[in-house]
């Protein structure tokens, strides 16, 4: 018993026969572990997830080794307690059988697991192929839908100008669309194409990479989007051939109705008169890094060239205006008014001249015209100035030279005194305390409003049914004094301004500071990003995954603190 207890509880005493048995068991265990390892390696080759495989393998290996070690110990103990070789051989054979059975059982389990994994991989491949097929079919459907929308847009737009720029992998960018009437229109259309091209290159580089599908972008650059469907949209009627909900997006670089529910397919983007400085920045290497101010070739901004205005008390206390004799809005919009002498057979100035000639009071025909609703806001202000120039100094200075009315209009302009002899410069305008911007065919003055906000005086802003791309950034009574479309409250607002000089100086200073902050490369880029780049997603990237974030595209620009996107500048002459 003591001897048995010594073998069971103390150190193990090993005979040569026991040693041989142990070595044999070790070899069997190693062989079993080798088979397990091989099975594990086979499973690993088909396992889609190495992390799961390795975790499982480590667990299985530990279990197999633990089982083999347990068998080894138990076998040695059984051999030590026995006195015969038969007992040792039986233990050895039992250990081999047990270890081998466990090893092969483990191998079979790993092999079965590998078969399952192979099946899973095959099934995943099949599902992936099916998904790719469905994606390809979806792309085909999307291309077909885009083609249908493009065709419907062109077919239903009407005779007005509609331009387009296309891209494909073989030909790159190309300008398509209608042939414009004159050089000014052709130049504007070319600027629109360049704006789209450079904006896409800067913020959607992956959309024009190898293997990408072709696209077409529609756009307009005229005073307003010249589609025949405005009237039906305004009257909430949808006649045959004006199903605008099915149109492709049309990107408008000009003025647009404030009511965004009218023809929502038309997206207002960066005002075209901001294009030249923006293109200089976007198309020039490191153009956005330069510390030089934006290059405006046509836009006037007071103070940009070092001009200094007079003190507030020295400014002339009148509303000053100089501009072209042009129609207000177009027949498609409510409030349309024809210009003062549209054609020889329909010339308001000619009728006015006739009435003055036959009237005992030469000013009465002017009062009658002002009492009616047939004249444009521009003509209304000029006639008001003819009647009483104590508070208004307004004249036309620019008329069209290309139509049949020209000669008659020149004669009548001089005879009635509605035409100025020469244009006022920025320094001339800067001598006045009050300014006003009066809308033309598009209902606005484009970035002419910005010029007048930069002047030392305060702006009476003509609020119409139309808007430009920066209008959300300027606020009434903060940056300007608002006046109604028909100017019915202008005299009242003028009297208020005269009675509140401090408030007017505050508004004037805020407007000038606003222009100064916005006349930077960073602000122009931000405005174009928000107004054009982001909106191009509708055509180029409906998922919104390809647009490069502004900060990544311009990492060197400091964050803007302007309260809103941006604002630009350029005088619109009509």
pLDDT in tens, 514-545: 999 888 999 999 999 999 999 999 999 999 89
> For the chain, what is the total number of helices (H) and then of strands (E)?
18, 14
pTM for this entry? 0.74
Using DSSP, state whether 376 is helix, strand or coil.
Answer: coil
Q: Rounded to an integer, what distance in angstroms lies between the CA atom of residue 381 and that of residue 488?
A: 11
On whether residue 565 sits in a domain, the answer given is: no
Residues 6+ apart with CB under 8 A from 382: 394, 395, 396, 418
Residues 429 and 504 placed together within one structural domain of the fold: yes
On whether residue 162 sits in a domain, the answer given is: yes
Cα–Cα nearest to 549, from 566, 565, 526, 521 = 526
Angle between helices 521-528 and 275-283 (to 10 degrees): 100
Q: Rounded to an integer, what distance in angstroms lies between the CA atom of residue 407 and that of residue 420?
A: 16
Residues 274 and 341 placed together within one structural domain of the fold: no
Residues 343 and 466 placed together within one structural domain of the fold: yes
Residues 478 and 428 placed together within one structural domain of the fold: yes
Residues 406 and 477 placed together within one structural domain of the fold: yes
Residues 6+ apart with CB under 8 A from 433: 312, 315, 316, 317, 318, 457, 458, 504
Query: Could you tell me how many residues make up the chain?
Result: 574
Average pLDDT of the chain is 79
Residue that wins the pLDDT comparison between 18 and 491: 491
Which domain-ending residue is among 518, 538, 569? Answer: 518
On whether residue 11 sits in a domain, the answer given is: yes
On whether residue 153 sits in a domain, the answer given is: no
Residues 502 and 524 placed together within one structural domain of the fold: no
On whether residue 146 sits in a domain, the answer given is: no
- Specify whether the CB–CB gap between 262 and 334 falls below 8 A: no
Q: Rounded to an integer, what distance in angstroms lies between the CA atom of residue 197 and that of residue 143?
A: 21
Residues 367 and 501 placed together within one structural domain of the fold: yes
Task: Give the total number of structural domains in the chain.
Answer: 3
Quick: pLDDT tens for 357-391. Answer: 999 999 999 999 999 999 999 999 999 999 999 99
On whether residue 220 sits in a domain, the answer given is: yes
Using DSSP, state whether 170 is helix, strand or coil.
Answer: coil
Q: How far is CA 245 from CA 6, 165, 544, 565, in A?
A: 97, 21, 21, 28
Q: How far is CA 507 from CA 460, 474, 491, 551, 554, in A?
A: 11, 11, 18, 32, 33
Residues 219 and 350 placed together within one structural domain of the fold: no
Residues 282 and 333 placed together within one structural domain of the fold: no
On whether residue 566 sits in a domain, the answer given is: no
Residues 258 and 385 placed together within one structural domain of the fold: no
Question: Which pLDDT belongs to residue 179?
Answer: 61
Residues 363 and 468 placed together within one structural domain of the fold: yes
Q: Rounded to an integer, what distance in angstroms lies between the CA atom of residue 270 and that of residue 252?
A: 8
On whether residue 564 sits in a domain, the answer given is: no
Domain coverage including residue 253: 158-301+520-557
How would you label 76-111 residue by residue, b for 16+ Cβ within 10 Å and e otherwise? bebbbeeeeeebbeebbeebbebbeebbeebbeebe
Quick: pLDDT tens for 467-488. Answer: 999 999 999 999 999 999 999 9
Tell me what percent of the residues of the chain surpass a pLDDT of 70: 68
Domain at 376, CATH number: 3.40.50
Confidence check: pLDDT of 137 > 80: no
Q: Rounded to an integer, what distance in angstroms lies between the CA atom of residue 302 and that of residue 286?
A: 27
Residues 228 and 330 placed together within one structural domain of the fold: no
């Amino acid at each position: 018993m003591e001897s048995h207890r010594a073998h069971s509880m103390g150190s193990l005493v090993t005979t040569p026969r026991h040693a041989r048995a142990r070595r044999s068991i070790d070899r069997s265990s190693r062989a079993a572990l080798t088979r397990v390892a091989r099975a594990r390696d086979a499973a690993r080759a088909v396992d889609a997830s190495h992390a799961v495989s390795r975790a499982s393998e480590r667990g299985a290996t530990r279990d197999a080794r633990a089982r083999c070690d347990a068998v080894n110990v138990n076998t040695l103990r059984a051999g030590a307690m026995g006195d015969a070789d038969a007992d040792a051989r039986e233990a050895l054979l039992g250990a081999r059988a047990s270890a081998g059975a466990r090893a092969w059982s483990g191998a079979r389990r790993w092999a079965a697991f590998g078969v399952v994994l192979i099946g899973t991989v095959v099934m995943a491949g099949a599902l992936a192929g099916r998904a790719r097929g469905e994606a390809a079919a979806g792309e085909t459907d999307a291309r077909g839908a885009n083609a249908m929308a493009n065709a419907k847009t062109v077919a239903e737009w009407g005779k007005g100008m509609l331009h387009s720029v296309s891209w494909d992998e073989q030909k790159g960018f190309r300008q398509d669309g209608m042939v414009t009437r004159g050089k000014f229109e052709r130049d504007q259309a070319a600027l629109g194409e360049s704006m789209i091209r450079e904006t896409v290159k800067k913020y959607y580089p992956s959309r024009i990479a190898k293997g990408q599908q072709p696209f077409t972008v529609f756009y307009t650059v005229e005073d307003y989007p010249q589609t025949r469907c405005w009237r039906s949209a305004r009257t909430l009627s949808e006649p045959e051939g004006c199903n605008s909900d099915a149109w492709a997006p049309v990107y408008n670089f000009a003025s647009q109705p404030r009511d965004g529910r009218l023809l929502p397919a038309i997206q207002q983007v960066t005002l075209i008169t901001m294009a030249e400085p923006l293109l200089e920045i976007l198309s020039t290497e490191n153009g956005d890094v330069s510390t030089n101010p934006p290059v405006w070739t046509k836009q006037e901004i007071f103070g940009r060239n070092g001009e200094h205005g007079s003190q507030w008390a020295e400014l002339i206390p009148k509303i000053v205006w100089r501009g072209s004799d042009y129609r207000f809005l177009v027949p498609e919009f409510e409030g349309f008014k024809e210009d003062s002498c549209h054609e020889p057979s329909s010339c308001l100035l000619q009728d006015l001249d006739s009435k003055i000639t036959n009237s005992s009071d030469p000013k009465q025909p002017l009062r009658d015209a002002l009492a009616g609703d047939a004249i444009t806001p521009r003509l209304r202000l000029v006639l008001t100035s003819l009647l009483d120039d104590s508070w208004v100094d307004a004249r036309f200075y620019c008329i069209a030279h290309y139509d049949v009315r020209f000669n008659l209009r020149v004669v009548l302009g001089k005879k009635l005194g509605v035409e100025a002899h020469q244009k006022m410069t920025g320094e001339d305008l800067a001598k006045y305390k009050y300014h006003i911007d009066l809308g033309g065919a598009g209902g606005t003055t484009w970035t002419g409003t910005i010029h007048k906000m930069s002047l030392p005086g305060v702006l009476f802003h003509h609020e119409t049914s139309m808007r430009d791309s920066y209008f959300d950034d300027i606020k009434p009574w903060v940056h300007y004094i608002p006046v109604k479309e028909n100017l019915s409250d202008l005299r009242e607002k003028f009297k208020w301004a005269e009675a509140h000089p401090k408030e007017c100086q505050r508004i004037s200073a805020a407007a000038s500071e606003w222009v100064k902050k916005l006349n930077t490369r960073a602000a122009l880029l931000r405005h174009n990003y928000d107004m054009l780049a982001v909106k191009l997603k509708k055509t180029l990237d409906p998922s919104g995954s390809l647009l490069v974030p502004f900060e990544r595209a311009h990492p060197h620009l400091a964050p803007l603190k302007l309260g809103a996107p941006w604002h630009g500048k350029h005088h619109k002459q009509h």
